[in-house]
Structure 1
Amino acid sequence: MLSIQVMREGEHIVVQPGVHHNVYMSANSVIHTIKYGLNTHSDWSASPELDWVTQTLMESELLQTYG
Structure 2
Amino acid sequence: MKELSIIDAEKQGIKMKNHMMDNGEKRFRLVQDCGSSYICTITAEASGWQNSHYHLEKKEFYLLESGCAYVAELIHQQLQITQLKLDEVYSIKKGNPHNIYLDENSVLHTIKYGTKSEDWHTCIELDEMVKIICVKDIK
Structure 1 residue corresponding to 2:135, chosen from 35, 53, 59: 59
Q: Percent identity?
A: 34
Q: Which has the higher contact order (CA 8 A, sep 6+)?
A: 1
Which 10-residue stretch deviates more, 40-49 or 22-31?
A: 40-49
RMSD: 1.0
Unaligned runs of at least 5 residues, structure 1: none
Higher strand fraction: Structure 1 or Structure 2?
A: 2
- Residue 16 of structure 1 and its aligned partner are, at CA, apart by 1.4
Unaligned runs of at least 5 residues, structure 2: 1-77
Aligned length: 62
The correspondence of residues 11-22 of structure 1 with structure 2, limited to 5 A, is 11-22=88-99
Structure 1: 4+ residue segments shifted above 4 A: none
Which structure is larger by alpha-carbon Rg, 1 or 2?
2
Higher helix fraction: Structure 1 or Structure 2?
A: 1
